Chains A and B, each alone.
Chain A
Amino acid sequence: MNDVTAPPTGKVKRIRVPQRLRNLELGILIPAFVIILSAIVLVQLGALGHVDTQLIVLGAGLIVLVLGLHITLRFVARDADPFIVPIATVLNGIGIAMIYRIDIAEGNEGWDSIAVKQIAWTAIAIAAAITTLLVLRNHRILFRYTYLFGLAALVLLLLPLVPGLGNEVNGARVWISLGGFLNFQPGELAKIALAIFFAGYLVRNRDALSMTGPKFLGIQWPRMRDFGPLLIVWAVAMGVIVFQRDLGTGLLYFGLFLCMLYVATGRFSWIAIGLSLFVAGAIIAVQTLEYVRGRVDAWLNPFDQSVYDATGGSYQLVQGLFGLAKGSMLGTGLGQGRPYITPLAESDYIIASLGEELGLAGLFAIFALYLLFVERGFRIGFAGQDDFGKLLGVGLAFVVALQVFVVVGGVTRVVPLTGLTMPFLAAGGSSLLANWIIVALLLRLSDTIRNHPRLVIES
């Protein structure tokens, strides 16, 4: 690599000593491993009263895998961002510790244990991340297949609706069932394909979307014929809400497109139009769809006795709120609270479980980690020099940020509950797989985009 230019006279200067970032990553990974192992040990001390080596061995297996990813980076992406992997590792590990804690309460053991499954899925997800890094040596290749990724996203979205393959869980048709035992949510992978498609599409067409149009109320508005893409994505999102009965995923796709459209065009009118479409869609959904009305009802009047007792009512929401209240500032201590009272305490409600046992202090540390993770992605968008990579980095980071907002907002009663999963934390293989692939893509982007100074002036 001769990306570092040297003056013809004088000594050759390197801007970054090649492995400096990787050594920094290793330095941050070690406390990350300490956090994961101590979380598991604390859960055992709190809930069992003694230390059990079985799960610690599995946790150590996870550490070996992360080290494998680290070593892969040393060879194929040595200038990649050093903070992404440690942050994802800590979040994933804390999630496993909390799932394990719920397992202890519910008496799940062996392969029934959700924590063991989560560790197995983490292994698959990290292996997928390593494969992505090995196969994808330059993110510009993705730009070539923009429309193929658009098609792939559409197919992934439609898969759960195929009779015989689709599987309905808690009313939402977002799962596919392979061979009757392996359940998978293709929508999680679709969000990556969509981010790639949106980035490629917007880089190709942004001039039409950003330059022309009539001026009204002091803001330049797009031409009518440029509304097509936004309306199509809106229709797809509404389709997900109506036919798959999944509020969160539809919201996520539309929010992702709106964010990327705004970043690509820098035009405020898109946000105004997008939000009006969103509000219109929300009103239609509340008027016509039973399950959406139930969610909104539970959000507005959770403490109403009839709403609390109704099936699909606010029981879960209220239990989560009580859990968070019990956790208070410092929490009950890992393994010492009763987060398992809340339904789905290991997946949709893992934030309430963590809030109960780690308190506000612990929860805010977790949010700070998400903040830093998203900041790394936005940084690629800020510092990069190629438009496709910039837009893709921002899109991938934003999709994680929006998902965190929607989940935490749902649990804390800021927005209606949607049934999305917390990235990295919540139990669920497809979500883990998708998020670790996002990690791999961000690493690849930061390696090719960052640290390519083409001229250095030092005084």
Chain B
Amino acid sequence: MTDPSALTLLALQLGFLILMWGFVFAIVYALRSDLFGQRVRKLQPAATAGAEPRAATPPGGTAPVVPAASGYPSSPVDRSDAGNDNASKLVITSGPRAGAEFPLGRDEITIGRSGDSAIIIRDDYTSTHHARLMLWNGRWMIQDLDSTNGTFLDGSRVTVPVPVPLGATVKVGATTFELRR
């Protein structure tokens, strides 16, 4: 076998660099929604109004109950002091799954369109990582994660993490929910 010429080696070297960058961009492409987020439409006032009337759906009773994921690791921390406002569940009050309940533990709850959120809301108005609920000194706080359409607590936009009182309406995209005992 004869030695490859300098030109062949140069071509191979360029090919190898292109291969490496191709690999990098293949991963970036596969991750595009993780890295850049999904497209979010601006919420029109009409859409807000359309979602509101359905808020009257009765909770509990006929509502589907969401079982706690048994595969999910439970917190070893004792739950006796889980919130001095005693919220034990989150209830969806309007939107396509109105009436659904969601048990609250001690772990924070992420809300957004991405597949790794605890509550996934797939509509055009919810951002990839929209908001999160977290337990802070025994109180559930809602924090907006710089979402396009904002998170609303009792009608006012959430700018800094604020405590969520029992029964207060939180609105994310076209969905509203509240915390209950």
Contact = CB atoms under 8 A, between A and B. Distances in A.
Contact of A451 (B10, B28, B110, B116): B116
A458 B175 CA distance: 10
Contacts of B110: 383, 385
B164 interface: no
A32 B27 CA distance: 11
A263 to B, nearest CB: 14
Contact of A42 (B16, B30, B31): B16
B96 interface: yes
Contacts of B120: 15, 453, 455-457
A387 B10 contact: no
B16 A459 contact: no
A8 B64 contact: yes
Contacts of A50: 1, 3
A330 B13 contact: yes
Interface residues of A, number: 69
A457 B118 contact: no
Interface stretch (A225-233, A360-368, A426-434): A360-368
A455 B13 contact: no
A77 interface: no
A455 B73 contact: no
B122 interface: yes
A455 B21 contact: no
Q: Which 10 A-B pairs have the closest CB atoms?
A: A49-B3, A383-B116, A333-B13, A365-B20, A459-B123, A3-B69, A450-B116, A1-B71, A140-B73, A458-B122
Given A140-B76, A386-B75, A450-B116, 13 more contacts: A34-B19, A35-B19, A42-B13, A45-B12, A140-B73, A365-B21, A369-B23, A375-B35, A449-B116, A452-B118, A456-B122, A457-B97, A457-B119
28 contacts: A2-B67, A3-B72, A5-B69, A7-B97, A28-B23, A28-B27, A31-B23, A35-B16, A35-B19, A35-B23, A39-B16, A45-B12, A49-B3, A358-B16, A358-B17, A362-B17, A366-B20, A449-B116, A450-B115, A451-B115, A452-B71, A452-B116, A453-B119, A453-B120, A454-B69, A454-B72, A456-B120, A457-B119
Interface of A: 1-3, 5, 7-9, 15-16, 24, 28, 31-32, 34-35, 38-39, 42, 45-46, 49-51, 82-83, 86-87, 90, 138-140, 143-144, 207, 211, 330-331, 333-334, 336, 358-359, 361-362, 365-366, 368-369, 372, 375, 379, 382-387, 448-459
